[in-house]
A and B are shown apart, each in its own frame.
Chain A
Amino acid sequence: MSKEPFFYGIRHLSPAGAFYLREFLEERRPKLVLVEGPCDLGDELVHMQNPKARPPMAVLAYTMAVPVRTILYPFAVYSPEYQAVLWCGENKVPCRFMDLPTEVFLALPREAEAPEGEEDRLDVYRALDARTGEDGHETFWERTMEQAGTAQGYHAGANLFGENLRELTRERERDWAEIQLREAWMRRQIRTAVEEGVAPDDMVVVTGSYHVEGLKNWSQPPSREEEEALKALPRTEASHTLMPYSDYRLSSRSGYGAGNRAPAYYALVWEAFLRGQPMGTAYSYLSRIAAYLRESGTPVSSAGVIEAVRLALELARMRGGKIPALRDLRDAAVTCLGEGSLAAVSLAVADTEIGTGIGSLPEGMSRTSIQEDFYRQMRELKLEKYRDVSAQDLSLDLREKRSAASEKSAFLDLNRSFFLHRLRVLGVSFAQTQARCQDNATWAEQWVLRWTPEAEIELVESALKGDTILQACGVQMKEQAREAENMAGIAQVIEDAFFCGMAAAAVYATEELARRAVDTVSLEELARTAEKLSVVIRYGSIRRVDAAPLLPILDRIYYRACLLLPGACVCDDAASGSVSATLQQLNSVALAHDTLDQESLVSALWQVAGRDDLNTKLSGFAAAVLMERGLMGTEQLKLEVRRRLSPGTPADLGAGWFEGLAMKNRYALIARLSLWESLDNYLETLDDEEFKRALVFLRRAFADFTARERDEIAENLGELWNLNGQQVSEAVNVALDTQEAGMVENLEDFDFDF
């Protein structure tokens, strides 16, 4: 019992703990410091000690095999563990992590997310909350530990807290078995160190106060079962990296377990400790809130801040404290600066408590190769200034800059676009495209760039797919193509490959597509795929992608679609909308590529236009397309109009056909007086009931004509009826009065079923 290591029980992310621990180390000058943390992360210690590494930072460990599992160890500047590591670095004292290695942690079976066994611990906290009558154990902890005032007080308090918590939840915690294992492992690490010749009392063990009790009997040889269990630990291949972290992620509000509610506030507490003025936190917290409010346009007087400090102090006193806790400060801010309402100061409070701080690491520090590739490309593409937590816009012009000196700078924006698209495909949330306006869709791109620690994690995760971004992106696309559920999914991959400038991936996906196109019978899907391919082929040149291998497959898909077209036109009115859109797509694809066999589409169109057994609206639309293409002349149209609108044709068929026809080339239609004459004659022949039915269709057909177009139609009708165009126009364009509106309403209820 004579020689014992010193067990320093701490709470993670505790400014007071960090401060006193440092003081303690300074005084005790141990020869070895053991810190609770996975022992295989030892190589990160050097990086953490690098003076250029700025917290918050985190160590991320991840499995090499899919599905990727990760664990994260975040450190803030006021993490006692971090300060212990730093102290060791400054004083050239060896330092080790002593917990189970990450390869074991990641292999331990994890129960599903339901934390049922946590109940006990929660119960204890709840009982604690009820006893203190405050808003939670965070406040309890702050008042009793963080504000303990002396190192001894903190140390004794933390140990007692850990001991009691351990007693109360002993053997009932869900992961009790795991805790046992971890402590056995840590005891072994202490023994190993002693065997290596470090005197126990030259050693300081920094661990969560909960574990202090479990480590005290380190010198006892382990039991047999324990040995067995340690030997039988599962392992999985794992890798790890140090990465920058952010205040936002640290705050538990964003849902990450290991963190605290108010990282920026605790940073203020830490600074106050360093200055030796514990009250300083109150001043800096409230002044910050005031400054934020002023900046956002709310006047706040210094007198108000002073009052807030006094109130906070008084609130702390009512609870027996000498220094305001976070809760007192926030309530004081609400009362004195926010006129009693939290809403008025909530943004300022969030900014001051959570903060926007983000850590940084010197370049090249323990990164996976894909991260290195990322940072190299960021540099090459001059994108580094966008690596920031606030969102920034970036607009790209993909065209070659002919004035540029080198090819690299001539295609800078294009390469940027490739890079950002590749990240997008990999699911790294660094860049988001913005909707583009149609005019410059092909050569201009709008991006919003925002760098977050999440993006870093996503980047690290994609390391599994390859060592560089290009490689990982290729693997990702192949996977997507293989797993796509339909052709459109593969077409999406092809489009992505084109956006990413990756011809090889495009070819791979195309082959996959060709294989599947044979089995596909959905016209809609074929047309959508054809359109996507068409875009890639047409605009491939601007991205310098050779689209030639895509042409044959487009040809096949297009031909299949043409064959399926007449059959798809047997449908009801509800479905006709999507078929007409498909028809339109096919038509524009055909028009865009001379190499496609125009005849196959045209003959299909003639079929649709001429047959009487198809949906009349689609027949009308096909006629409109033929007219647009200049294939249906005036005479033919006149004939067709007369045939379709001949007396005796049911109103919904006749008017439906007209509706389809009117979906295109309005000006050409308006100009043809004979058309209106036919329509007029047709309507004359209808009886009252039939007329009502026709009215519904016609009303729909004319609904999206502009006022000007209606004017012109009115002129035509006026001519037919020998009326002044003006009068007809007024009658047509005037808004409905209530009585008429009522009549129209009745039409809507019209029963079409008979």
Chain B
Amino acid sequence: MEQNNVQRLPAEQLFQKEIDALIAAEKDPVPTGWRMSPRSVRTYICGGTAGKTKITPKYIGQERLVEIAIATLVTDRALLLIGEPGTAKSWLSEHLCAAINGDSTKVVQGTAGTTEEQIRYSWNYAMLIAQGPSPAAMLKTPVMTAMETGTIARVEEISRCASEVQDALISVLSEKRISVPELGMEVPARKGFSVIATANTRDKGVNEMSAALKRRFNIVVLPTPADLEAEMEIVRTRVEQQAGNLDLNAAIPDQEVVEKVCTIFRELRNGETLDRSQKVKSASGVLSTAEAISLLCNSMALAGSFGSGAVTDYDLAAGLQGAVVKEEEKDVLAWKEYLENVMKKRGSRWLGLYEACRELNR
């Protein structure tokens, strides 16, 4: 497959150069099964330099949380990242795998339909019936492959899986081996094997994780960005990266646009204005940082395809409307109130956006 045509490259390919530079500049001891030392992993995630190469920060936020996550994986404990939607859980998990193993593709996506076989192993049934059980007829799951190779498997949205699937993971994590009775063999995990799971705090109650499973994980809670500056930084970096990937024919939105979007998102998320002087109704949606990023990319696509190439207030307004208004009645009210009570009074800098939003809301 030609790389350029892939819609989304895995992290280890996107940041190949940085990873190579870090490996080349390695000075600290490297744990078994890892490609670089824990400190280099931290540099890869949080930014810095390796030799002469500048390493871009991938996760902008508390560096300490990243340290805890990496240290957890060194101790061969499984890592569970939880947080609100859009707090970069999967993003962090992907990059951790990319840096540690150079392979972030061993993923099990947790859904209501995920079965135990997707954690352990399943069979190529045609071959199973034709030849009987044999190693060749066995289909290895990402988890099993990770065990065999001593690498890290990712399980996304673990709280969406049914409890028997979660239980299957318990035995993998505590025994560190999968037995295959059909073949009379066992697959032991090599050193370096671990699991990074992610779970959503908004999904609580869908399938509550059992205490037994939680005990097998070290849990790191990823917070929403602490302040406006941090969030703008995240949004700006990610929009630049994505825009490059998607070949959008539009200019990167300038600082002011990013600031406006982040301000609106933060205010509607927290239920008060940034200076805490005024309460606003919060919207029913999550309004995560990730949504802000996709909103800006959308606006760029609009501007690139139908507009002048520069993101206008009109392009933004369409995106905002879609992002904020999720449940018709309630959100429309909250949004209108916000427009009239907050945005309208912000002065001329916001006037264009206000007009455009009001136009759509008529």
Please provide the chain A residues from 324 to 375 with a CB less than 8 Å away from any CB of chain B in the complex: 331-332, 335-336, 339-341
Known: A304-B215, A310-B75, A311-B77. Contact between A318 and B220, CB under 8 A? no
What is the CB-to-nearest-CB distance from A189 to chain B, in angstroms, rounded to a whole number? Answer: 46
Known: A311-B68, A335-B68, A335-B220. Contact between A301 and B215, CB under 8 A? yes
Q: How far is A340 from B220 in the complex, measured between Cα atoms in Å?
A: 5
Residues of B within 8 A of A579 (CB): none
Residues of A within 8 A of B72 (CB): 311, 314, 335
Q: Are A307 and B68 in contact (CB-based, < 8 A)?
A: no
CB of A315 within 8 A of chain B? yes
Please provide the chain B residues from 3 to 54 with a CB less than 8 Å away from any CB of chain A in the complex: 38-39, 42
- Give the residue of B38, B77, B80, B218 whose beta carbon is less than 8 angstroms from that of A318: B38
Residues of B within 8 A of A318 (CB): 38-39, 42, 67, 70-71
Q: How far is A714 from B221 in the complex, measured between Cα atoms in Å?
A: 66
Residue of A nearest to B29 (CB): A317
CB of A303 within 8 A of chain B? yes
Q: Are B70 and A335 in contact (CB-based, < 8 A)?
A: no
CB of B82 within 8 A of chain A? yes
- Interface size bracket, A side: 20 to 34
CB of B74 within 8 A of chain A? yes
CB of B63 within 8 A of chain A? yes
What is the CB-to-nearest-CB distance from A629 to chain B, in angstroms, rounded to a whole number? Answer: 56
- Give the residue of B71, B82, B221 whose beta carbon is less than 8 angstroms from that of A311: B71
What is the CB-to-nearest-CB distance from A343 to chain B, in angstroms, rounded to a whole number? Answer: 10
Q: How far is A721 from B70 in the complex, measured between Cα atoms in Å?
A: 88
What is the CB-to-nearest-CB distance from B222 to chain A, in angstroms, rounded to a whole number? Answer: 9
Q: Are B64 and A336 in contact (CB-based, < 8 A)?
A: no
- Chain B 207-220 per-residue mask, 1 if CB under 8 angstroms from chain A, else 0: 00001001100111
What is the CB-to-nearest-CB distance from A626 to chain B, in angstroms, rounded to a whole number? Answer: 55
Q: Are A307 and B77 in contact (CB-based, < 8 A)?
A: yes
- A-B contacts, CB under 8 A, total: 51
Q: Are B221 and A341 in contact (CB-based, < 8 A)?
A: yes
Q: Are B221 and A315 in contact (CB-based, < 8 A)?
A: no
Residue of B nearest to A338 (CB): B219
CB of A133 within 8 A of chain B? yes
What is the CB-to-nearest-CB distance from A613 to chain B, in angstroms, rounded to a whole number? Answer: 52
Residues of A within 8 A of B218 (CB): 307, 311, 335-336
Q: Are B63 and A133 in contact (CB-based, < 8 A)?
A: yes
Q: How far is A314 from B34 in the complex, measured between Cα atoms in Å?
A: 15
Interface centre among B67, B71, B214, B215 (most CB of A within 10 A): B71
Residues of B within 8 A of A335 (CB): 68, 72, 218-220
Q: Are B214 and A339 in contact (CB-based, < 8 A)?
A: yes
Q: Are A331 and B64 in contact (CB-based, < 8 A)?
A: yes
Residue of B nearest to A308 (CB): B218
Q: How far is A331 from B68 in the complex, measured between Cα atoms in Å?
A: 8
Known: A133-B63, A339-B214. Contact between A314 and B220, CB under 8 A? no
Q: Are A314 and B75 in contact (CB-based, < 8 A)?
A: yes
Known: A133-B63, A318-B42. Contact between A307 and B75, CB under 8 A? yes
Q: Are B75 and A311 in contact (CB-based, < 8 A)?
A: yes
Q: How far is A332 from B71 in the complex, measured between Cα atoms in Å?
A: 10
- Give the residue of B38, B63, B221 whose beta carbon is less than 8 angstroms from that of A340: B221
Q: Are A317 and B38 in contact (CB-based, < 8 A)?
A: yes
Q: How far is A7 from B64 in the complex, measured between Cα atoms in Å?
A: 38
Interface centre among A304, A314, A331 (most CB of B within 10 A): A314
- List residues of B whose CB falls within 8 A of some A CB: 38-39, 42, 63-64, 67-68, 70-72, 74-75, 77, 80, 82, 211, 214-215, 218-221
- List residues of A whose CB falls within 8 A of some B CB: 133, 135, 299, 301, 303-304, 307, 310-311, 314-315, 317-318, 331-332, 335-336, 339-341
Can you give 20 contacting A-B residue pairs, CB < 8 Å?
A135-B64, A299-B211, A301-B215, A307-B218, A310-B75, A311-B68, A311-B75, A311-B77, A314-B71, A315-B71, A317-B74, A318-B42, A318-B70, A318-B71, A331-B68, A335-B218, A336-B218, A340-B82, A340-B219, A340-B221
